[in-house]
Structure 1
Amino acid sequence: MSRAALLVLADGRFPAGGHAHSGGAEAAVKAGRIKDARDLAAFCQGRLHTSGLTSASLAAAAALGHDPVELDEAADARTPSPALRAVARRLGRQMMRAARAAWPCAELAALAAAFPRGTHQPIVLGTAARAAGLEPEDAAHCVAYETVSGPATAAVRLLSLDPFEATAVLARLAPEMDDVAGRAAAAAREGVDALPAVSAPLLDITAEQHATWPVRLFAS
């Protein structure tokens, strides 16, 4: 296994399009639910243990080589918001372009052919992790980190939050990220039907509202 490959995949500069998305933080800031670093920590913690766990398990399952069609159906069933399903597929298409450039392989080519309009981003990420020789836990860690780093980075821009404070939020969440990644990988080994289906209804509701905004800083 290449630890360097894990760093490349998890790097925020990996051109997978995530920088354009706030993970629900923009809507939460506008609603007054995120005003400072303490609010950001609570928001990230909630996101990590709900949609983060669900997405991390999908990535781990893809890294294990589970049927991508089943995984796509499972991802749709676990994403009630049409806006978030569209975002997940859009990010999946961007992740696919980056992954095939970095780790060209038959599995990624087959996944792209099976879903020409894109499958959910965690499924592509997990397949990319498999192509890079990484373990399911590595794929789950990437998703867990992305789940909280996206909102943290967005909060710096949206609130002019001190970036040192935002980074401290991520550092304090590290043990919980490890826990979520471990739980996600363990569930993935039990099969697609055993994958968590934890959701955050408020994130779904605000995602639908955010998608209608005529002016916004982030795509989601």
Structure 2
Amino acid sequence: MPPLDAPQPVPQPGPEGVPVRQGARTALLVLADGRFPAGGHAHSGGVEAAVAAGRVVDARTLAEFCRGRLHTAGLVAAALAAAAALGADPLALDDAADARTPSPALRGTARRLGRQLLRVARATWPHPEFDALAAARPRGAHQPVVLGLTARAAGLGAADAAHCAAYESVGGPASAAVRLLGLDPFDATGVLARLAPEVDRLGADATEAARRALESGTDALPAASAPLLEIGAEAHAGRPVRLFAS
């Protein structure tokens, strides 16, 4: 076994021109792990509001909710993360995220999660881009933008960032539903497993959209709408008793 202070291999360029570090695939697993302390465990991804409204009551309706969230908010988040990983201007991406998030409650949630993710990312994969973003957005940038920068700092590519964001868009609600509904964890995991092909396809589509945005600007990024998520977020923010922050 080489000593801990042995010289490390020179990073090699990945498919997007970003250096891919040794151990980058494991870094992706760390980033996507629910134990990564980025604050996501305190948020339901809108499923608590959907449960309160009677739209999610079992595994079947959870699957419908997750599919809808994946193809709307998940697509937008995946494209933003991929664009940040490719090196697009994070401040322009943050403005684009604002424009795609009509709900003040959801914008606040995205920035709180982004601020928390930035804190742990700076400690885990120090990078000067984190310092610049923290200075420019002291109240936090949108979480997908920070996620893309984190992937970049960890030596990952745009596709990695997109897939991580897409998975998070359904993984959080599925986990929250176990607590909210007393759902069998096996059923919740089954929902995610059956969505896996769609997550893969969406991640690839989001990565292509991010590449187009590098050439023609953020207007090329997806702007899929999810009105019930927006309305639910506002209703949830006004609830005096709730299990999750959002």
What's the TM-score bracket when you normalise by the shorter of the two chains?
over 0.9
TM-score by length of 2: 0.88
Cα distance in 2 between the residues matched to 1:11 and 1:110: 26
1:59 pairs, out of 81, 86, 90, with 81
* Structure with more contact order per residue of length (Cα contacts < 8 Å, sep ≥ 6): 1
2:134 pairs, out of 107, 112, 116, with 112
Aligned to 1:36: 58
Structure 2 letter corresponding to 1:217: L
Unaligned runs of 5+ in 1: none
Unaligned runs of 5+ in 2: 1-19
Aligned to 1:196: 222
Cα deviation, residue 199, structure 1: 1.4
Q: Which residues in structure 2 correspond to 1:6-25 (within 5 Å)?
A: 6-25=28-47
For the residue of structure 2 that corresponds to 1:34, the secondary structure is coil
For the residue of structure 2 that corresponds to 1:190, the secondary structure is helix
Structure 1 letter corresponding to 2:229: L
Asked if 1:122 is matched to 2:122, the reply is no
Cα distance in 1 between the residues matched to 2:225 and 2:123: 32
* Deviations, residues 64-96 of structure 1 (Å, cap 9, x unaligned): 110111101100000010000000000000000
Structure 2 letter corresponding to 1:197: A
Which of the two has higher C-alpha Rg? 2
* Deviations, residues 108-148 of structure 1 (Å, cap 9, x unaligned): 11111111111100000000000001010100111111100
Fraction of identical pairs, as percent: 73
4+ residue runs over 4 A deviation: none
* Deviations, residues 22-57 of structure 1 (Å, cap 9, x unaligned): 011001111111111000000000000001000110
Aligned to 1:219: 245
1:76 pairs, out of 98, 101, 104, with 98
- Give the alignment's Cα RMSD to 1 decimal: 0.6
Count how many residue pairs are aligned between Structure 1 and Structure 2. Answer: 220
TM-score by length of 1: 0.99
